Amino acid sequence: MERLPRGRHGLPREFVAQNQRERLLAALAECLEEKGYERTTVASIGKRAGVSKSDFYKQFESKDACFVAAYDDAVERIRASVKEACAERKDWGSGVLDALDALLRLFESEPAQAQLVLVEGLRAGRGVYDRYQVAIQSFVPYLRDGAPAPAGGERPPEATDEAVVGGIASLLARRVLAGEVKKMRGLLPDIAEFALTPYLGTAEARRIISA
Amino acid sequence: MPSRAQARSGEKRDSVPVRPALPREFIAGHKRRRIMDAIAELTAEQGYDATKIGDIVRRAGVARKTLYDNFEGKEEVFLAAFDTAVDEAMGQIEADCAEVDGEWEERIQAGLASFLRYVAENPALARMCMIEALSATPAATERYEAAMQRFVDLVKRTVPQDEQTPETIEETLVGGVAWIVNQQIRRDEAAQAEDLLPELSDFMLAPFHGAAEAAKKRANA
């Protein structure tokens, strides 16, 4: 994110504050990706964002608070892209496929965000874990709504919806940890089949994915 | 009556010990185990960071020196407890899978049942391994990943594979099961983990058979 010009630029105060906030959130994610939570300091976040320490504390009361804000912000952006993909869907199966594609594209283009949401959220400990849980659960309805039953069978139990979302998150986290975030889009056929098969059966899932 | 000198040297003692002496290794192993159980309970109750060496020795009922004779410090206790629990669970699961003289679906179900039983019977260890380990220390995180991989490999050895089956399917399945169990533990319902068996069986079998067949299988079982 661009720094604003120094000195008198006549930009409204709220605009400056908002810009600083966004820069700090992006800087935090980058610091985390580079050196992990423990070694990320308020000073290093500020330095990367080009924001003074006192301006940092005007936005956030602590590193933890900045982390939580960055986390919520990242999840919100992911949700927006998944929601958009789902809104345009012709049918349930291709909607899930498009949403997963959008998700992988987003992570691949913003590895620091992938690390933040998928890895740090689980590892940051007690308080943040609740946010991770809420975030993961918030994706369940996109899969659940309109989910069909496979031909001649019953709709899978509700735990399946949650296990599918949790399982995808777990796989993606492992790939981020393995340093393979740049190859995430290659996982689309795999995770799409994993997500669609319980509801459509293997043959129909594969038909949609290869279409 | 033996002389004082004889009693000291132990050459001729006619007094019988009140309890039969236990072998030294047994006592050492037992104390080690108590220390590991203590850290599991304490991290489950209050988290890894808040758990101090003093808490551990008090809970285990051992001297601080005993802890340091056996472990370098808190992290080593935690990692040893983690490894012991995973080995124990894995041993039971593999044994229960091997006992099944039937189809792969039954082996998956037996393994899953065995895992859930371990969680139900060892709620503190389960919380330590599946929740606290994620955020305890970087070494603990690595152990968690390695343990996940052991489960992934076990599923891979058990399920039928065709060329089209996604290569990552076992990873997503193990991750999904871990997520559901993780939430069960978080709700303080680890003791009821076995209730999850039917739903998780369906989930694990679906990618290989289609959900309808998985449900049929369970109804016939």
This complex has an ipTM of: 0.86
pLDDT at B122 over 70: yes
pLDDT at A119 over 80: yes
- Chain B residues whose CB is inside 8 A of the A190 CB are 166-169, 172
> How many angstroms separate the CA atoms of A176 and A114, rounded?
7
Determine, yes or no, domain membership for A43. no
> Higher model confidence: residue A123 or residue B81?
B81
A60 is written with which tokens?
């956030």
| B21-36 pLDDT tens trace | 666 666 677 899 999 9
Query: Any chain A CB within 8 A of the CB of B113?
Result: no
Based on the structure, what is the number of domains in chain B?
1
Determine, yes or no, domain membership for B128. yes
- CATH number for the domain harbouring residue B204: 1.10.357
Which one of A160, A169, A189 has the shortest CB-CB distance to B202? A160
Based on the structure, what is the number of domains in chain A?
1
**What is residue A19's predicted lDDT score, i.e. its pLDDT?**
87
Determine, yes or no, domain membership for A196. yes
**What is residue A126's predicted lDDT score, i.e. its pLDDT?**
56
| B136-160 pLDDT tens trace | 888 998 999 999 999 999 999 998 8
Determine, yes or no, domain membership for A103. yes
A101 touches A187 (CB < 8 A): no
The count of residues in chain A is 211
Residue A143 lies in domain:
62-210
pLDDT tier at A152 (50, 70, 90 boundaries)? confident
Closest residue of chain A to B181, computed from CA coordinates: A163
Determine, yes or no, domain membership for B11. no
Torsion over CA: B111, B112, B118, B121 (sign): negative
**What is residue B12's predicted lDDT score, i.e. its pLDDT?**
44
Query: What sections of A40-157 are H helices per DSSP?
Result: 42-49, 53-59, 63-87, 92-109, 111-114, 121-123, 126-138, 140-144
pTM equals: 0.85
| B64-102 pLDDT tens trace | 999 999 999 999 999 999 999 999 999 999 999 999 988
Residue B163 lies in domain:
78-220
**What is residue B164's predicted lDDT score, i.e. its pLDDT?**
78
A193 touches B166 (CB < 8 A): yes
- Which residues 6+ apart lie within 8 Å of B23 measured at CB? none
**What is residue B208's predicted lDDT score, i.e. its pLDDT?**
83
Determine, yes or no, domain membership for A203. yes
Determine, yes or no, domain membership for A193. yes
**What is residue B1's predicted lDDT score, i.e. its pLDDT?**
44
Determine, yes or no, domain membership for A80. yes
List residues of A whose CB lies inside 8 A of any B CB.
36, 122-126, 129, 133, 136, 149-154, 156-160, 162-171, 174, 177, 187, 189-191, 193-194, 197-199, 201-202, 206
- CATH number for the domain harbouring residue A103: 1.10.357
CA distances from B93 to B123, B140, B147, B194, B195 (A): 17, 22, 13, 14, 17
